[in-house]
Amino acid sequence: MKIDILSFIIELLNAVAWPVSVIIIVIILKEPLSRLIDSIQNLTIRIEETKTAKKGKTVKEEAKSQVHHTGEDTDRIRR
């Protein structure tokens, strides 16, 4: 009878060990993971802002070159 109870306890501990380990690791690493996620989000936002700014400059340069090629007056277009 004792062997059955001990086997049950061992199997129960084996089944519960990995979820408890994951929970403990998440609790320990919560703050560093949160900072890492924030840093990644900020980096992504900066990359998107840079891409948008580059596209804006490219569009402006393209518009200026088109105006110069067609010979239109840039002051007239700005109005």
Per residue in 15-57, pLDDT tens?
999 999 999 999 999 999 999 999 999 988 888 888 887 777 7
pTM, entire model = 0.46
pLDDT score, position 78: 52
Judge whether residue 77 has pLDDT over 80: no
List of residues 6+ apart from 74 with CB closer than 8 A: 64, 67
Bigger pLDDT: 33 vs 72 = 33
pLDDT for 72 equals: 52
Amino acid letter, residue 75: D
Cα dihedral 29/34/39/45 (nearest 10): 150
The two tokens of residue 73 are 């007056």
Kindly compute the dihedral angle of the four CA atoms of residues 64, 69, 72, 76, in this order, to the nearest 10 degrees: 0
